[in-house]
Each structure stands twice: as C-alpha cells, then as structure tokens.
C-alpha cells in the first residue's frame, strides 16, 4: 500500500509541471585577452612639488617649478603591444596661454587645480625615450582622425592623441613583457597678480588618468 500511494502522489505532482511552456535563457559570456598587463608608476603615483613660498613667485610672468622625474612601467606576463591615453581630471582649472617645452598650446598640458574659483596654473608631461624589454623605442602617436602611427615630435604627452612606442612609425608598436616610459612633470603657476589676493595657503591639485589598451 505504501508503494502504491507514493507512486500516485508522484504522478499527480508531475503532470501540471509538464504542461508549462515558459522558458528562460542562460547566456555565458567572457573575453579572451592575449595577456595580462599591469601599469604602475615607479616610486608611487603621487608627485609632491613641496611647499612653495608665495614671496618667491613672480607677479608678472609664468612661474616654472622644478621638474620631477616619473616612470610609467607596464609589466605583462607575455609579450604585448600597448597604447596609452591620458585624461585630464582637472581640465576646467587649466590656465590658458602657458608655455611648456617652448610651446604655447593649451592642448599640451593639464590643469593644476584652483583657488577661489580661479585656475592656479598647469603642468605638462615631457616625454623621455620609451623602452621595450630594455630596447630603446620611438614614441608614437595617433588620433581618431588620423589613425596611422606617426613619430611624436613635440616632446609633450597630451590628452588628445593616444601613444605607443616602437622602432618606427611603419613598424608600429613593439610587443614586450616590460614597457618603461620615462617622463618629467613640469608645472607652472600663473603670474600671482592674476590670482585672488589671499593670506591663506592653497594646494596645487593636478590629476590625470593613464588608460592602457591592448593592441
């Protein structure tokens, strides 16, 4: 009797489920990438320009601050070609008309923060010679409007093109396990007569993001 009752109950339970017509899809997605690369700045990602006494700043001309050396290193677990893009996180604070590397071009430098709503100055990134697995490379650049690689000639890393490095423009970006890109941070404060008068301290606050892309 126990066996018969159990079988009847099971049959009565299965019938309504077997009649249902609804369904649901399971999507399995992902992406296979050629390698894993990790970018980092040797010595850390903060550049401290130190304490600057306002009495040492010129009221009538751009005040260039001592340069600081930095090194972007990108380590990959297999040889990979890369490109980088730089985005200004303080763009609205950029003071127009500053000169870096003898060039007066607002697109070639970044904002340095503001005080009382007025931009303090700007900073540029002077490019050194990139290395791929210890081998010197040429700095390359391209834009969306001109996607062909060309050798960068202005000496500054800007926030419009993307950059890479390789033997030459025709060969294109080099694949390597260790990429090293030396730069100098060159900052400038605008003439102090253009800043709001104050006896309070204020901070320089520049920030850029380096995005690394696989090629």
In the chain, where are the structural domains located?
Answer: 56-214
Give the tens place of pLDDT for each residue, 100-131.
Answer: 999 999 999 999 999 999 999 999 999 999 99
Q: What is the pTM of this model?
A: 0.82
Give the tens place of pLDDT for each residue, 164-214.
Answer: 999 999 999 999 999 999 999 999 999 999 998 877 788 899 999 999 999
User: CATH for 56-214?
Assistant: 2.60.40
pLDDT over threshold 90, residue 80 = yes
Lowest mean pLDDT among 40-49, 95-104, 137-146, 170-179: 40-49
pLDDT of the residue at 28: 77
Higher-pLDDT residue of 14, 169: 169
Residue written as tokens 């079988």?
A: 7
Region 36-45: mean pLDDT is 90
Q: What is the DSSP string of the chain?
A: -HHHHHHHHHHHHHHHHHT--------------S--EEEEETT-S--------GGGS-SSS-EEPPPEEEEEEEEEEEEE-EEEEEEETTGGGPPTT--BTTB--GGG-EE--EETTEE-EEEEEEE---EETTEE-EEEEE-SS--S-EE--SSB--SSSEEEEES-TTT-SPPEEEEEEEEEEEEEE--GGGSPP-SS-------EEEEEEE-
Strand partners, 189: 63, 121
Which pLDDT band holds residue 29 (cuts at 50, 70, 90)?
Answer: low
What is d(CA 85, CA 72) in angstroms, rounded to the nearest whole number? Answer: 13
pLDDT of the residue at 20: 58
Region 69-98: mean pLDDT is 94
| Average pLDDT taken over every residue of the chain | 87
């Amino acid at each position: 009797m126990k066996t018969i009752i159990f079988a009847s109950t099971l049959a009565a339970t299965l019938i309504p489920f077997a009649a249902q017509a609804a369904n649901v899809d399971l999507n399995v997605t992902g992406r296979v990438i050629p390698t894993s690369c990790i970018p980092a700045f040797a010595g850390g990602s903060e550049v401290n320009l130190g304490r600057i006494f306002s009495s040492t700043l010129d009221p009538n001309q751009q005040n260039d601050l001592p340069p600081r050396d930095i090194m972007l290193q990108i380590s990959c677990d297999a040889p990979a070609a890369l490109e980088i893009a730089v985005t200004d996180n303080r763009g609205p604070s950029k003071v127009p008309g500053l000169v870096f590397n003898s060039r007066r071009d607002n697109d070639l430098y970044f904002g340095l923060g503001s005080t009382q709503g007025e931009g303090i100055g700007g900073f540029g990134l002077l490019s050194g010679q990139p290395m791929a697995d210890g081998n010197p490379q040429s700095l390359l650049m391209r834009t969306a409007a001109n996607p062909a690689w060309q050798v960068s000639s202005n000496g500054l890393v800007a926030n419009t093109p993307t950059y890479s490095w390789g033997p030459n423009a025709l060969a294109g970006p080099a694949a390597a396990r260790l990429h090293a890109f030396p730069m100098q941070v060159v900052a400038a404060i605008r003439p102090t007569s253009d800043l709001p008068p104050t006896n309070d301290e204020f901070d320089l606050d520049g920030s850029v993001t380096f995005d690394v892309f696989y090629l």
